[in-house]
Amino acid sequence: MEKHFDWTGVEPKWRQRWQELEVGHADVTSTKPAFVIALPPPNITGALHMGHASTFSIQDTVVRQRRMRGFEVEWCPGTDHAAIATQNVIERQLAEEGTTKEALGREAFQARVDAWYEEYGGRIYEQMRRMGYTCDWSRSRFTLDDQYVRAIRLVFKTLFDEGLVYRGPRIVNWCPRCRSAISDEEIDWQEHTDPLYYLKYPVDGGMDITVATVRPETMLGDSGVAVAPGDTRYSAFLGKSATLPITWRRIPIFADAAVRPEFGTGALKVTPGHDPTDYEIGARHGLPIINVIALDGTMDVPELPQFHGMPVAQARTAVAEALRSLGVLVKEEPYLHEVGHCDRCGTLLEPLVSEQWWVRMKSLAAPGIGAVESGEITFHPARYTDVYLHWMRNIKDWCISRQIWLGHAIPVSTCANGHRFAWVDPPVRCEQCGNTELTNDPDVLDTWFSSGLWPFAIFGWPERTPDLERFYPTDVLATDRGIIFLWVARMIMTGIKFTGRNPFTDVLITSTIQASDGSRMSKSKGNVIDPLDLIDKHGADAVRAWAAAVGTSGQDMRFDEDRISSYQRFANKLWQVTNGFLLAKVGNGSVADLDVHPPKPETLRSEDRWMLAELAAVVRECDAGFAAFRFHDAVERLYDTTWHSFCDWYVEIIKLRLADAADHESRRAAVWTAVTTLDTLLRLLHPFMPFITEECAQLLPNAAPTLQQRSWPEVDALWSSDETAAAHHEIGEAIELVQRIRALGNAQRVPRGARDRIRVVVRAADGKGISRHIVRLIGGLVPAAVVDGRERGSTPVVVVSGRLHAEVVIADTAADASATTRQIGLLEATVVRLETQLANPEFVAGAPARVVDESRRRLQEARDQLEVLRGGQTGERTDVAG
């Protein structure tokens, strides 16, 4: 027998079994209720990371539990072409090879991309299989699939035809490296400290006005100076014109509410071409838009050859220098502000005006707001509801066009007569005039435009496929909070718009796994952890159980490898108790010997019922945990019950009985209880730790080809009967007494071999006596010897637990009353506190009756125990049988 559980052979075996049994495959014709999750498709830009491992493990946990509960489960996997991210990755590769995509050409570049998708798409699925995920691989989707592309085009065309998609020049976030616009949601804001320059512009009539800016180079494109309405410092300037140094252009001075009078000098240079705020101000005042920065991030000012073609950063100092020499740069001071960067390549963004495609969002957002306000869609944790609603209520039009090579082409053509139309199937002639000279739109769609259709497009929409009818809407959407706006909100909007249904009912936002120092894991910091490395080190079960336990607390979590290894040890514990103890020792190596008929209830001992009561509690807590998406509650309770209640207490207790071969009936009750308990625990644990639980379950009676074909445990009437509850209480007291007696032995440093030095007499405080069985049970668990009575001249140390108490005598040791004294001290403090509390009329009058009664009960109990400890023992003497 293996010394420790070795997962390296077990995991591949079960992966293959699940594959063969098509555990993940959903039958569209099944009559079971459906439960559906659309897997958030990972980008094909590399490997699975901890974020995936966390959210995917949770989804697999949910999905496995729902299968056991009798649902027809569809967990549809897929991958996202991630146009801009993939293009960046491949461009970086090309750069390392000393070439560019332009040098390669479109076709060769596309070939590189296809090869990449081929390699990494498969690799990601392989990694997911290693984690043990039971996706429905037969329905894998890719956002570049033909059917998916048709769905995208139909959505676009519908929005276009309804006027919800439009094209127009507006100021956008431009990435000079990607040479593309990006949306507001794709900006990575970073703090910068830059000089704030104060520039003095001459004004008609010999005055001058000073503006503050961190971007002096844009002053070449200024078309106005704005001040706050009612700012008396500048009332004399309104309506006058300033003269722009260098270009010597005359620009108007006016008032606009967007100006913050307290900032800088209170006067704002207005550059509608290169600042979003200024763009809006300019629009309000009819200012001309002057573009001075080109799409490649260099200055575009042919009339000023000294700056033309200069990179913006360089132009900034050059222009500042020119202004200084003109004497109009009057002050510089450091200024901390946030600057937008491309979240894909990190390049500094340039706001500039260009023609883009936009989606009008207001009308699309309204029902998406309603769906969440009404509770039809619920966020977990609930606080993300407000995050979502705030964004939705303030939604702005969405820039969906990208000027990159990869991605879905915008399905719009323009004919030679200028007719522009959207299409689903590539057209050969103009819809309006039949002209065949068509020009296709050169742009591609934002990747999130296609991702936003995921929950219904994966099932064949717009065709009314059986899959769509059966599996849409989905149930749970589990993802990271970073894409609530980018993805979740858009799925809700498009889902409602195009299917009339909410795409899911629950949004589960999982914890973000941070590096162990609390910083964000990122490739650039070099502190990312590869989940597959963790599997190699600790086994997939350990990683999965950790991910589930940690992933839904609603709080960010620092990576803690010790916690993963604790689940690795837990897997070993399960293996030991199932294989090493139950099968090998109890069943003598044969499953048949464990296959006992259910015993008559009256043959169950107290400890059997105690175990069943513990089991009932853990089933209930598990169900509650699943219902509330609080998996850490379920996992921790399962861990505790399995390890401590079952292994440490129940198994140790029944070892004595099992050794007594004479009592067949009792033995059978113990075997049945142990098998039932373990079988139940394995089923409850299976969604979290599928491999080890499968392996163990095979060693027990009732084994199915996979636990996925077993039912989810329910509480049996026997487990929750009054008699069982009473037995649970009885054994609970005995356990506590055992712990107190053991503590004495440990405190006295009595070696185990010298157990007969400790003598124990157990009594019942209420004089009712104790069952022989309980006395024997206690005797078997403490390192103590049988005594017939107190030894002459010795003074016992007394310990109490509920109605039980024990007199403990340790031979050859001076009676150490400190344990008794300590107990007395604690009890006295309790008595004083409770007496004080109960003497307070406001407490008695103000607190609920049950609280007052509980205090009285505890006071009485404490007094009774004190009486025992102080030597006023009463009750019948019962000797320990050992």
Partner RNA sequence: GGGCGCAUAGCUCAGUUGGUACGAGCGCUGCGUUGACAUCGCAGAGGUCAUAGGUUCGAUCCCUAUUGCGCCCACCA
Residues 611-640 touching RNA, rule: CB under 7 A, are 624, 630, 632-633, 636, 639-640
Separation of alpha carbons 527 and 372, rounded Å: 37
Residue in 643, 668, 813, 835 binding RNA, rule: CB under 7 A: 643
285 binds RNA (CB under 7 A): no
Q: How many CA atoms lie within 13 A of 142 on its CB side?
A: 16
Provide the Cα torsion 253, 259, 262, 267; round to 10°: -20
Separation of alpha carbons 381 and 422, rounded Å: 40
Q: Minimum distance from CB of 349 to RNA (Å)?
A: 10
Q: Minimum distance from CB of 374 to RNA (Å)?
A: 21
Q: Minimum distance from CB of 112 to RNA (Å)?
A: 32
Q: Tokens 């959505």 — which residue?
A: 155
Minimum CB distance to RNA smaller for 790 or for 856: 856
Minimum CB distance to RNA smaller for 73 or for 395: 395
Separation of alpha carbons 486 and 83, rounded Å: 15
Separation of alpha carbons 575 and 648, rounded Å: 15
Tokens of 104: 């390669």
Minimum CB distance to RNA smaller for 370 or for 554: 554
Minimum CB distance to RNA smaller for 117 or for 391: 391
Residues constituting the chain = 882
Separation of alpha carbons 661 and 684, rounded Å: 32
Residue 114's nearest CA partner among 441, 405, 344, 448 is 405
Minimum CB distance to RNA smaller for 445 or for 696: 696
269 binds RNA (CB under 7 A): yes
Residue 145's nearest CA partner among 532, 517, 457, 543 is 457
Minimum CB distance to RNA smaller for 215 or for 757: 215
560 binds RNA (CB under 7 A): yes
Minimum CB distance to RNA smaller for 412 or for 798: 798
Q: Minimum distance from CB of 316 to RNA (Å)?
A: 11
Give residues 297-316 in contact with RNA (rule: CB under 7 A). none
For RNA, what does the binding mask look like between residues 130 and 169, x meaning CB under 7 A? ----------------------------------------
Minimum CB distance to RNA smaller for 110 or for 565: 565
Residues 6+ apart with CB under 8 A from 82: 43, 44, 45, 447
Tell me: cis bond preceding 381? Omega within 30 of 0 counts. yes
**Which one-letter amino acid corresponds to residue 84?**
I
Give residues 185-214 in contact with RNA (rule: CB under 7 A). 185, 187, 189, 196, 211-214
Give residues 646-665 in contact with RNA (rule: CB under 7 A). 647-648, 651-652, 655
Give residues 709-768 in contact with RNA (rule: CB under 7 A). 738-739, 742-743, 746-747, 749, 751-753
Distance of CA 330 to the CA centre of its chain: 52
Give residues 336-365 in contact with RNA (rule: CB under 7 A). 337-340
Give residues 466-485 in contact with RNA (rule: CB under 7 A). 481-482, 485
For RNA, what does the binding mask look like between residues 535 and 554, x meaning CB under 7 A? ---------------x--xx
438 binds RNA (CB under 7 A): no
247 binds RNA (CB under 7 A): no
277 binds RNA (CB under 7 A): yes
Minimum CB distance to RNA smaller for 655 or for 790: 655
Which string of b and e fits 507-533 if b means at least 16 CB within 10 Å? Answer: bbbbbbbbbeeeeebeeeeeebbebbe
The helix (run of H) or strand (run of E) holding residue 100 is none
Give the range of 524-532, 700-708, 805-813, 843-851 binding RNA by CB under 7 A: 843-851
Separation of alpha carbons 579 and 316, rounded Å: 73
Residues 6+ apart with CB under 8 A from 853: none
3-state secondary structure (DSSP) of residue 809: strand
Q: Minimum distance from CB of 769 to RNA (Å)?
A: 25
Q: Are 414 and 438 in contact (CB under 8 A)?
A: yes
Say what angle helices 83-96 and 106-130 make with each other, to 10 degrees: 110
3-state secondary structure (DSSP) of residue 80: strand
Give the range of 297-305, 403-411, 770-778, 830-838 binding RNA by CB under 7 A: 830-838
Residue in 25, 170, 331, 563 binding RNA, rule: CB under 7 A: 563
Number of residues interacting with RNA: please give it, by CB under 7 A. 101
833 binds RNA (CB under 7 A): yes
Minimum CB distance to RNA smaller for 155 or for 290: 290
Residues 6+ apart with CB under 8 A from 802: 732, 733, 736, 737, 861
Minimum CB distance to RNA smaller for 71 or for 631: 631
Give residues 16-55 in contact with RNA (rule: CB under 7 A). none
Q: Minimum distance from CB of 19 to RNA (Å)?
A: 27
375 binds RNA (CB under 7 A): no
Give the range of 96-104, 105-113, 570-578, 793-801 binding RNA by CB under 7 A: 570-578
Q: Are 699 and 578 in contact (CB under 8 A)?
A: yes
Minimum CB distance to RNA smaller for 324 or for 655: 655
Minimum CB distance to RNA smaller for 586 or for 612: 586
266 binds RNA (CB under 7 A): yes
Q: Is the dihedral of CA 261, 264, 269, 272 positive or negative?
A: negative
Instruction: Report the 3 state secondary structure along 663-685.
Output: CHHHHHHHHHHHHHHHHHHHHHH
531 binds RNA (CB under 7 A): no
β-sheet bridge partners, residue 195: 334
Q: Minimum distance from CB of 634 to RNA (Å)?
A: 11
Q: Minimum distance from CB of 319 to RNA (Å)?
A: 13
Residue in 170, 440, 843, 866 binding RNA, rule: CB under 7 A: 843
Q: Minimum distance from CB of 11 to RNA (Å)?
A: 15
Say what angle helices 362-373 and 490-499 make with each other, to 10 degrees: 100
Residues 6+ apart with CB under 8 A from 685: 574, 638, 642, 693
Separation of alpha carbons 603 and 272, rounded Å: 88
Q: Minimum distance from CB of 171 to RNA (Å)?
A: 11
